């Protein structure tokens, strides 16, 4: 019995660790996801700065999201399926989100740098 459990465990671990699966055709590549998610975070940040909260945010943000997807020439269904796919691949999603953070940090430092130039 213990031997069977050991084999089952090894089998499970082997297939769980194989994360080099190719990305399905209908899924956006990670570069595109990084660009879209960077824009989404910017839109959400802008809405907070503009004082849009609660029910107002629920009305305004979907319009921003649609504009972002249109800018990137991506259908909502494709983005949703891609987001779901990456959320089931934690290592890939972590890599994407780290790149989004880097993008946002670069943008922030560029804004702060421009403010310093005016002084």
Contact (CB, 8 A) for 76 and 66: yes
pLDDT digits (tens, 9 = 90+) for 40-89: 999 888 877 666 666 666 677 888 999 999 999 999 999 999 999 999 99
pLDDT band at 4 (very low <50, low <70, confident <90, very high): very low
Closest by CA to 94, choosing from 39, 44, 40, 34, is: 34
pLDDT for res 113 = 59
pLDDT for res 5 = 44
pTM: 0.72
Contact (CB, 8 A) for 65 and 44: no
C-alpha pair distances (Å), 61 with each of 28, 68, 91, 113: 22, 10, 28, 28
Contact (CB, 8 A) for 28 and 74: yes
Share of the chain above pLDDT 70, in %: 67
């Amino acid at each position: 019995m213990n031997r069977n459990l050991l084999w089952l465990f090894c089998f499970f671990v082997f297939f769980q660790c194989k994360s080099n699966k190719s990305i399905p055709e209908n899924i956006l590549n990670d570069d595109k996801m990084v660009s879209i998610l960077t824009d989404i975070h910017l839109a959400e940040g802008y809405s907070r700065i503009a004082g849009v909260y609660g029910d107002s945010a629920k009305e305004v943000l979907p319009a921003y999201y649609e504009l972002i997807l249109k800018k990137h020439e991506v259908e909502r269904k494709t983005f949703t399926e891609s987001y779901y796919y990456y959320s089931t691949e934690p290592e890939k999603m972590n890599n994407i989100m780290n790149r989004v953070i880097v993008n946002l940090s670069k943008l922030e430092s560029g804004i702060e740098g421009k403010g310093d130039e005016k002084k």
